[in-house]
Amino acid sequence: MAEKVLMKGNEAIAEAAIRAGCLHYFGYPITPQTELAAYMAKRMPKIEGGVFLQAESEIAAINMVYGVASTGKRVMTSSSSPGVSLKQEGISYIAGADLPALIVNVQRGGPGLGGIQPSQSDYFQATKGGGHGDYHLIVLTPASVQEMADLTGLAFDLADKYRMPAMLLADGTMGQMMEPVELPDSAPEMIAKPWAVTGTQMQRKHNIINSLYLVPEELEKTNFERYQRYAEVEKNEVRYEEYMMDDAEICVVAFGIAARVSRNAVVEARKQGIKAGLIRPITIWPFPKAAIAKAATHCKEIISVELSMGQMIEDIALASECKVPVTLCNRAGGMIPEPDQVFEAIKKAAGGNE
């Protein structure tokens, strides 16, 4: 590993993407994600073969991603909530054409134009498809600037491996905060992409990148095949972190900035003799269902801490099969819960049956 540097989360994603072999970036500026595009604008022209293009809109940018992804090159775009909504049509096409690509969403408060402060209210959009049709993205949720970098490289690897778009779902705080980070300095491992449209040189059958099927039986078949691949992802790629869960009686589930806040609350609860623990999903699709199900066997309540009106809580309720109460501790519209608020929720849950 190289020397540590001090970076904003947005910059760490950009530099990690370049080091993961992504030489094509298309985007459109929006707070609180703009530093990512600005960093790409500065760095890409200095790299051989590097392309930075500020498109005329988010819709143009995602379709440029679709084009480059078709050639098998690593490619990405980034935006914040309203801009990611604009990209949904293109993301559906990329998923429908079975192409790898990275989409970064540094979320801000919504709905509508909302605000510029941090939020996690695009959980549904990220994990349940987002655009039209049956599809999924692999969705990774960083909780530190180091993870912003690490998960960027992982997202490219997973997208290539399973031929599907991946999303890094961060929030404004993660994008704007500054922390020391170690960036990988080894060359990324690239897998062969025999499906890519790179010119046949009259040496092979031509490849077709497409999401339109004229015969419904064929379209159905591609959908079933795609979902077999998704089943593999659900089997192999679930990632999460547990903190003090072994003997926990109260389970807090939170990702991203909410997980950092919650960890403080769990520490405080333990100090006061309450057996609290934290499950931090790192992938939210695939969702760590087994970890939640296990928690439901030894915890008396699960608390979902979210910067939204409660979205992940539905996946927690499903995964726990509602065996124990699942409650919400939240702020919304750009506000972040304080550790105290989470601690009070833990205290209330602990006191309920005593």
CB of 260 to another protein, least distance (A): 4
The conformation of residue 205, written as its DSSP 8-state character, comes to: P
CA dist 276 and 267 (Å) reads 8
CB of 177 to another protein, least distance (A): 5
- Which residue's CB is nearer to another protein, number 158 or number 253? 253
CB of 252 to another protein, least distance (A): 14
Burial class (CB within 10 angstroms; exposed 0-12, middle 13-18, buried 19+) of 287 = buried
CB of 172 to another protein, least distance (A): 7
CB of 1 to another protein, least distance (A): 14
- Which residue's CB is nearer to another protein, number 342 or number 349? 342
CA dist 76 and 167 (Å) reads 10
- Which residue's CB is nearer to another protein, number 32 or number 286? 32
DSSP labels for 11-56? HHHHHHHHHTT--EEEE---TTTHHHHHHHHHHGGGSTT-EEEE-S
CA dist 105 and 123 (Å) reads 10
What six digits make up the tokens of 56? 């005329």
Strand pairing partners for 25?
52, 76
Positions touching another protein (CB under 8 A) are 4-8, 11, 15, 31-32, 35, 39, 42, 109, 114-118, 172-173, 176-180, 257, 260-261, 263-264, 334, 339
- Which residue's CB is nearer to another protein, number 16 or number 69? 16
Torsion sign, CA atoms 347, 348, 352, 354: positive
- Which residue's CB is nearer to another protein, number 90 or number 277? 277
- Which residue's CB is nearer to another protein, number 8 or number 73? 8
108: left (phi over 0), alpha (psi -120 to 50) or beta: beta
CB of 139 to another protein, least distance (A): 22
